Amino acid sequence: MSPGTALAEQVKTLEISSQSGAKTPDTRKMKPTNLKNKYMQQRTPEKKSRPLSSSEKTPEKRAKKNESSDSSDSECESNEQLCTSSSQGALKARENEFESLKSWILESKSGKTSLSIYVSGQPGTGKTATTTRVLAHLGESIKSCIVNCASTNTKSALFKTIFQSLDLPGKPNVEVFEEHVKKFKVPLVLVLDEIDHLANRRNEALYAAFQWPVTLSYKVIILGIANSIDLTERLLPKLELGKHPLKRLVFEPYTKDDIVEILNDKLKQEEAAIDAKAIELTARKVSAMSGDLRTALHIFKQQKSRMMPMNPDSSEPPKTPVNGCREVLSIMNNVYSSPLARAHLPLQPRILLAVSLALSTSKKSKFDRNSLIRAYYKACEACRWPSLEDDDLYSAFQTLESQSFIRQINGGKLVLQVDVPTAKSAISDNAMLDQIGLLQL
């Protein structure tokens, strides 16, 4: 089935549903809900976040010092629009992560103990934005410096950026830097965003940064941020972090309920009129594919722009499209079929691809849909990953089909259309591959 055909079927189904008020008919091939029930009975319920109180605004002088690269700013800017509290409050659905980072830093400061933190998670989960807000919340009780390692990936470039950000005099090298830090009256929180770019054959910059909490104690707190969950297992165990082990914080993908709440808040703030069913569909599709909040915001923005009146001076409010769900599916089709989306598979298609890779290795390259779905649910339960049902699972599978990772042959069998190195490169998560490899699928 082509992507266009699948899209047309979904639109038709949604139109019938909206007109009759009946539930969407069960027409998908890939919907063995009995398997879902079998493998997901003991699924752990989602934790509820505890809201935090807002704080005073960030001093302008401090905000300038906390500037980062364009990519980090983009994520921060997108996510900061979602919080109804002040610029120093926690993002919605990220209150627990905000509180963890804040408390760790304050404990290190008050106890004068070393601290190294590694923050990981899928793109668009609010890692950089939450970190920036924590630093702003702590205000003048700390010094802070955010370095984007994508453009600062050598030891000399790292020191140069730090010296410029903190307005430090002298030659930018480790000796001069350590002399400055020893004179600081408050700890320096050094944030290394996209820290995986510091990894190379010798890892000089990575070693230098993570040695500071050891040599300078509580005077320097290192906070590394990256997408890869297994970076610490691959690189950081080699570092001598002293008596205080590295603290890890994983940002999980946004759930459907998280995205619905955030988009509804934006509706109230901007007084936009978007169909509630369209909001629900946006949240369900985005959470199923990746949990990337930026994608949901992009769809929201596109919907809003299509609803704007032709005359900007008109007092008549914009009208809701006849079928908001049609708009959502159209926008999502463009988003997930773009060259950029094809270069980076979302989370759920990557899980399916990793499971398919494991099955193809153990079952002589061919397997059927039921085997794939059964193995998928087993892997999600064992590894505590969010799993999909019905149409959402079919959409994730269709992503792999449309990008020629997998196809169905005669007899209903499935076969990978790429070799093992290509599949592993698309998955781009050694921890995921290792975890699935240990399971008997």
pLDDT in tens, 219-228: 999 999 998 8
One domain for residues 185 and 301: no
Count of domains in the chain?
A: 3
285 plus 242 within the same structural domain: no
Residue 417: which CATH number?
1.10.10.10
- Would residue 6 count as lying in a domain? no
The reply to whether 221 and 332 lie within a common domain is: no
112/223 same-domain check: yes
Do residues 184 and 271 both lie within one domain? no
Other beta carbons less than 10 A from residue 272's beta carbon: 17
Residue 22 lies in a domain: no
Q: What CATH number is given to the structural domain containing 305?
A: 1.10.8.60
Q: Does any domain span residue 28?
A: no
User: Which pLDDT score, from 0 to 100, does residue 243 have?
Assistant: 65
Residues 281 and 413 grouped into a single domain = no
Structural domain range at position 279: 253-310+318-337
Overall pTM > 0.75: no
pLDDT at 309: 52
As a residue count, the chain comes to 441
CB 159 within 8 A of CB 173: yes
Is 176 in the same domain as 236? yes
Residue 242 and residue 275 in one domain: no
Of 202, 234, 251, the one marking the end of a domain is 251
Residue 424, domain member (yes or no)? yes
Of 210, 236, 251, the residue at which a domain comes to its end is 251
Instruction: Measure the CA angle with vertex 211, ends 209 and 213; round to 5°.
Output: 95
Query: What is the rounded (10 degree) CA torsion for 66, 70, 72, 78?
Result: 100
pLDDT per residue, tens digit, the chain (441 aa), is 544 444 445 444 444 444 444 443 343 445 444 556 554 444 444 444 333 333 333 333 333 334 333 334 444 444 444 443 445 689 999 999 999 999 999 999 999 999 999 999 888 999 999 999 999 999 999 999 999 998 887 888 889 999 999 999 999 998 999 999 999 999 999 999 999 888 776 777 787 788 888 888 889 999 999 988 878 777 766 665 556 678 999 999 899 999 999 999 988 888 777 888 999 999 998 888 788 898 899 899 888 877 655 455 555 555 544 467 888 878 877 766 555 555 578 888 899 999 999 998 875 668 888 899 999 999 999 888 888 888 888 888 888 887 888 888 877 789 888 888 888 888 888 888 988 988 888
166 and 207 fall within a common domain: yes
Q: Are residues 111 and 213 in the same domain?
A: yes
364 within some domain: yes
CB atoms within 10 A of CB 219: 21
Distance, in Å, from the CA atom of 126 to the CA atom of 331, rounded to the nearest integer, reads: 23
Angle (CA) 95 41 46, round 5° = 5
Q: Is 149 helix (H, G, I), strand (E, B) or coil?
A: coil
Q: List pLDDT tens digits, range 283-305.
A: 998 888 788 898 899 899 888 87
For residue 3, how far is the Cα from the chain centroid? 25
Same domain for 72 and 144, yes or no, is: yes
Residues 404, 415, single domain; the answer is: yes
pLDDT at 179: 94
Q: Assess if residue 14 is contained within a domain.
A: no
Please report the pLDDT score of residue 31 as a whole number.
46
List the structure tokens of 131: 């970190």
pLDDT at 71 (0 to 100): 39
**Helix ranges, 243-368 (H):** 256-270, 276-289, 293-307, 324-336, 339-343, 347-362
| Structural domain includes residue 42 | no
Domain-embedded: residue 100: yes
